[in-house]
Structure 1
Amino acid sequence: MPVARLPSFALNHMVAPSLRSDAFFALCRKVGVAQAEIRNDLAGNAIMDGTPAVEIGSQARNAGVSLISINALQRFNEWTPAREAEAIALADYAQAAGAAALVLVPVNDGSGRADGERQKNARTALRGLKPILSDRGVVGLVEPLGFAICSLRSKREAADAIADIDGVGAFGLVHDTFHHFLAGEPALFAEMTGLVHISGVADKEVGIDDMRDPHRVLVDEKDRLDNIGQIRALQSAGYAGPLSFEPFSPAVHELDDPARALANSIAFIRARL
């Protein structure tokens, strides 16, 4: 029986959103993680506070951390002049900071979901994004969301859209274990997956249809999403990239010792694999 590869890990700044970027990179190194995702939605941090991209890149390099993505261009599949301008600004920031990719998050408010409409919108946006990202050496990583109201729930639809606009290589997919579980789509598309987001749901009372971001904690033995099974399946299908912790629960954000909690989760995952 083949032995699963031990995975590499990354930290999304959402693990400890109150930490300044330099302290966040120090947290990465404290738990033995050499890859990180920065975000553009944390007040008083990184992009939102106006810190220059070159400074963020320098902080990461000094900590021995590589930046794997900026998370994220929101509503990417609602392609407007304003969205194009936002994409250019984020791609410029990624290039200057040395971030390898820009995560692309679809509209998630119940609009744009009609059959035919959502496929067209995805292709229009990807066509617009392709030269912006390619010219800057930044990969676009599409992250379908599993929520019923999302305009792009299916990784198959995302993969088809990427193929249709000749975007393989310029774009990839994010496999988020939370959203994969909610979407109920069995296909993995490991060969197109550039990043895996991991988080668990431990609350025994919340129904699947009622799971939301605040339920997302670190992965442990109470996990209901079968993170271990998903990771094993992805590895068996050829995925060899990082597993990036992305918990949204206030219970995680308020931890006095996030390093210890993260180390425990890493140890749990490695032991099960």
Structure 2
Amino acid sequence: MTFAINHICTPGLRLDGFFAMARRLGCDLVEIRNDIPDVIGSTSPQTVKAAAEAAGVTILSINALYPFNVPSDDLAARAMRMADYAKACGARALVMCPLNEGTPVPRADMVAALATLAPILRDRGLTGLVEPLGFPVSSLRRKADAIAAIEAADGADVFRLVHDTFHHHLAGEAEIFPDRTGLVHISGVVDPDVAVDDMRDGHRVLVDAGDRLGNLDQIRALREGGYEGPFSFEPFAQSFHDLSDPEAALRDSIAFIAAGLGRAKAAE
């Protein structure tokens, strides 16, 4: 399987250091961000592209256009700025997250927003990666609803799903959509006391033996369903960011996942 590294893993590392770490981990696919850290707001796309080429990495995505599902006067302008940056830095896609503030968004509004975004992405040769968020306050929790809106907006050629193992578990959505998935985000929750509805980004660490989200089962189901794309590590917890050697922890998690999938395969 193919692993990727999201910059949230080491937000304190400069781009060149982050890219170098990814390569040492055997990964040549990375994701950059516009929040933690804010690469877009601090670095020119030409500098990002040059650093990626020098390190031998490919930028899968910029994370994230937020909120993507609310039509507004500035939606197109925000999307064009991000899309122009993505094209200039060599990124393949934009991750798109829904409004996550406890306010419902009508399906018609999401369809209208997707219809606005589709030509912007098409014109620049980019993919829009729609990432449902499983939080109870999210305006788009389930992938099935995202697919329905994508179809209604006639956007199946340009929009794909992000299957996030954390958000999939929180949403309680049983069905997966390997054939509609363009990227998988993986993280684990090991806190034994937090209730599922109370899980937040601050609980997200790496996947290990204490994982409560069923990451190995989700990964296995996606692969058996035909998904052949990358699995990108996305831990948000401050406890992970404070580690003295996050690279070693990432290496251990990669080994744990590979071994777990291998044991399951051998038992078949």
* TM-based fold match above 0.5: yes
Counterparts in 2 of 1:130-149, with a 5 A limit? Answer: 130-149=118-137
Partners in 2 of 1:94 and 1:88 — Cα distance? 10
Instruction: Could you list the structure 1 runs, at least 4 aligned residues long, displaced by more than 3 angstroms after superposition.
Output: none
Per-residue Cα deviation, 1:77-127 (whole angstroms, up to 9, x for no partner): 1121222211100000000011000000000001124xxx1x112101100
Counterparts in 2 of 1:95-134, with a 5 A limit? Answer: 95-113=87-105, 117=106, 119-134=107-122
Counterparts in 2 of 1:80-99, with a 5 A limit? Answer: 80-99=72-91
Structure 1 counterpart of 2:209, from 216, 221, 225: 221
TM-score (norm 2): 0.96
Query: Counterpart of 1:18 in structure 2: which amino acid?
Result: G
Per-residue Cα deviation, 1:170-227 (whole angstroms, up to 9, x for no partner): 0000000000000001111110100000000000011111100000000000000000
Say whether 1:257 aligns with 2:245: yes
Q: Percent identity?
A: 53
Contact 1:143 1:173 in 2 (8 A): yes
Gaps of 5+ in 2: 262-268
Partners in 1 of 2:36 and 2:201 — Cα distance? 15
Give the drift of 1:255: 1.3
Partners in 2 of 1:247 and 1:37 — Cα distance? 13
TM-score (norm 1): 0.94
Partners in 2 of 1:23 and 1:85 — Cα distance? 32
Partners in 2 of 1:255 and 1:134 — Cα distance? 40
Matched residue, 2:4: 10
Per-residue Cα deviation, 1:212-259 (whole angstroms, up to 9, x for no partner): 000000000000000000000000110010000000000111111111
The structure with higher relative contact order (CA 8 Å, sep 6+) is 1
Per-residue Cα deviation, 1:119-141 (whole angstroms, up to 9, x for no partner): 11210110000010100001000
Matched residue, 1:55: 47
Matched residue, 1:4: none
Say whether 1:27 aligns with 2:15: no
Matched residue, 2:264: none
Matched residue, 1:46: 39
Per-residue Cα deviation, 1:17-69 (whole angstroms, up to 9, x for no partner): 111111111110111111000000135x52121x1112101101111110000
Gaps of 5+ in 1: 1-6
Give the drift of 1:266: 0.2
* SS across alignment from 2:60: strand
- RMSD of aligned residue pairs (Cα, Å): 0.9
Query: Counterpart of 1:37 in structure 2: which amino acid?
Result: E
Contact 1:42 1:48 in 2 (8 A): no
Query: Counterpart of 1:54 in structure 2: which amino acid?
Result: Q
Counterparts in 2 of 1:231-242, with a 5 A limit? Answer: 231-242=219-230
Alignment length, in residue pairs?
261
